[in-house]
Homo-oligomer: A and B are copies of this chain.
Amino acid sequence: MNHDVFTLAGRQYQSRLLVGTGKYKDLGETQLAIEASGAEIVTVAVRRTNIGQHAGEPNLLDVISPDKYTILPNTAGCYNAEEAVRTCRLARELLDGHSLVKLEVLGDDKTLYPNVVETLKAADVLVKDGFQVMVYTSDDPIIAKQLEDMGCIAVMPLGSLIGSGLGIVNPYNLRIIMEQATVPIIVDAGVGTASDAAIAMELGCAGVLMNTAIAKAQHPILMASAMKKAVEAGRESFLAGRMPKKLYASASSPLEGKFF
C-alpha cells in the first residue's frame, strides 16, 4: 500500500479522509478529532468560521494550521452562484492567494440538497477565474461529468443528504460517476458510521469527506479514529478485489438479478 497515494492539485496525500470543522463542542475537540482522523485536508466554512475575517476573535487556523493541513475553504451557507463566487474570492484573499476551494451551492436550508444549476454556473466562473475547484454535487452522473468537463479538479457527489447519516443510498449512480470520471471522485455528505465510509471506498471513490458523522457521534474523537480506519479498510478492500457474492458456496449459485 506504500504507493497508493492520493494526488490532488499536484500534491500527494497519504490520507483519503477529508474532514470538516463544524458542529464540534469547541476548538479543542475540533483539533483532537481532526488529529485522530488522520486527515490532511480540512474544509472550513468561510461564512461561519473565523479564518481571519474577524480580527481579535479565535481563529481556526491557530488550531488547524495551514502549515500542517491543506485548508480547503468551502462555500457552505451559499444558495446561489453569486454568493458562492464571492465567498471563494474572500477566502482567496484571507488565505493569501490560495486557490483551492470547495464549492457548494445548496438548494434550500431545509434539505441542504445541492442546487446543481447554480453549482454549474459558479463552477464555470471560478474555474475561469483561476480557482482549483473541488465541487460538491448530487449523485447525478450527467452533472458530475459536466463539472469535470468544465475543469473542476475533483467532483464530490453526496452519499445522502448533509447531516442525514443515511450512508450511500444510491451506489449505482456513484459507480456510473466513477466509471466515466478522470478526476478524483470524493463522496461528500451522508456518511453516518464507519461502515458507510468503507462502502464508499469499496465502490472505488478516491476519498470521503465528512463532518457530522464525527462531530455528532457521542464520542467524536473515537469516531474520528474509526473513520480513519474505515476509509483505509475500504480502500484496501477495493484494491484487494473482493470475492464474488453467491447464493451459497457451491459453484453453481450465482446471483443473477432475477430474485434479488
Contacts and interface: CB of A to CB of B under 8 A. Distances in A.
A161 interface: yes
Given A240-B226, A249-B164, A111 B176 contact: yes
B166 A169 contact: no
- By size class, the interface of chain A is 35 or more
Nearest to A176: B111
A107 interface: yes
Contact of A248 (B1, B112, B146, B249): B112
A208 interface: no
Interface in A229-260: 229-230, 232-237, 239-250, 254-260
Contact of A140 (B140, B146, B166, B216): B140
Nearest to A250: B110
Contacts of A176: 111, 113, 247-248
A188 interface: no
A172 B260 contact: yes
Contacts of A237: 193-195, 217, 223, 226-227, 230
Contact of A242 (B143, B165, B244): B165
B161 A248 contact: yes
Contacts of A223: 236-237, 240-242
Specify which of A172, A197, A244, A258 lies most central, judged by the most chain B CB atoms within 10 Å of its CB: A172
Nearest to A108: B142
B164 A142 contact: no
A225 interface: yes
Contacts of A202: 193-195, 259
B162 A249 contact: yes
B259 A175 contact: yes
A236 B222 contact: yes
Contact of A236 (B110, B111, B112, B225): B225
Contacts of A228: 233
Given A166-B172, A226-B237, 7 more contacts: A116-B116, A161-B172, A162-B248, A192-B242, A223-B242, A229-B230, A255-B257
27 contacts: A1-B222, A111-B142, A113-B140, A117-B143, A138-B138, A162-B248, A163-B249, A164-B246, A164-B248, A165-B246, A166-B246, A169-B169, A171-B259, A175-B247, A192-B242, A193-B237, A194-B234, A194-B236, A195-B199, A195-B233, A204-B259, A217-B240, A219-B239, A222-B239, A225-B236, A227-B233, A230-B233
